[in-house]
Amino acid sequence: MALLENPLGHPEKFHISKDLGFILEDPLEELPDCYQVWVRLAKNLPSLIQNGQFREEVKQLPELNISQLQGHKEQRLAHLALAVITMGYVWQDSEVMQVLPRKIAVPFCEISKQLGLPPIMVYADCVLANWKKKDPSGPMTYENMDTLFAFPGGDCSKGFFLVSLLVEKAAASAIGVIPDIFEAIKSKNVESLKESLRTVASSVHKAIEVFDLVHKHVNPNVFFDTLRIYLSGWKNNPLLPNGLIYEGVWETPKMFCGGSAAQSSIMQCFDALLGIQHSSAEEKTSAKFLEEMRNYMPSSHKDFLEAVTSSPSVRDFIISSDDIKLKKDYNECVKALVHLRSYHLQVVAKYIINQSNKQDNAKEKKSSDNQEKGTGGTNLMTFLKTVRNTTEKALLKES
């Protein structure tokens, strides 16, 4: 099947950009007139929450049918706006809402079904589709970019989403060489394969460099105390132990994970491409979570990952080769991923674990398990260390 040999042979099918990878290229900022009420409300979320008025505004919304939304970009903007509204409605204050009103729940679930996404804010919303250039003709740099929607926490919200986006952009150059990698394996062109692997390693190193911007643009106190709650889901969350009721859609509450870096298609793409398996006995909890997170990606991105996974094994081809330099180039890709995951651990320690410990010390009590869980609902450090260690185990003997 042609798509398996060349997963980027039909990028429009997968909604993947050759320049930006999984990032939504040139996202729309407005919806057709009748749906603009969602966009306006989502844009006003920070001030309305500050005034305690957001939920009242949600209750004033008209009940809209999504039938007039056309095309992938309109669907993505609608999903993003409804996701932002949902998170604001549930988490506005200490009185957590257990029922999402049908005016939001019904269209949100319908648009989610069309995109193959769950009805909650996912990484593909708040990072991959939540951006614009200040100067449309200018570059995609932090200084020339803004988010479409923000949460309380001022510039911290913008910083968190945009730095994540720029990490994705830095890593995206690897996506363009995936067809070349499979072509090189098919034709047994070892020199071409080495060159492509060097591009992959270089792109991951660039992503690590960009990741460093988080310390400049995201305040740990503001992230932990203000922004983080709006990224949280209703699975494995004691604040919503039974999940959330979607009025007019399901009679029983539903549980969905919050936004998580584990929902980044590009990181799972690197694992699939390099044959990194997170599935041994001691790692099965992490492996299961990563597999579950594929259901939090647009279905087209999930299809792409499955196409890569189903393609001829890059790792097996390299293991069967006698070329020491080829194994070395493969290992450089794996080492770069280990470095990225180690760096992610450091960031999580600074922004979540240390902040949690500070609060414990102030209150003279031990942190609740919930504070050290990620917004996706996992035990953060255990999950991240396991994934990092599994990646390291993929290194090949070069001799």
Feature table: binding site: 344
Sign of dihedral through CA atoms 269, 272, 273, 277? positive
Task: Find how far residue 82's CA is from the centre of its chain.
Answer: 17
Number of H helices and E strands in the chain, helices first, is 20, 4
Cα–Cα distance measured from residue 283 to residue 389, given in angstroms and rounded to the nearest whole number: 10
- 3-state SS, 348-386, equals HHHHHHHHHHHHHHHHCCCCCHHHHECCCCCEHHHHHHH
Place of tokens 């390099």: 274
Contact 329, 198 (CB under 8 A): yes
Cα–Cα distance measured from residue 180 to residue 171, given in angstroms and rounded to the nearest whole number: 17
Of 382, 352, 121, 91, the residue nearest 259 (C-alpha): 121
Binding-site residue positions for heme b: 344
- Cα angle: 17, vertex 20, 22; to 5 degrees: 70
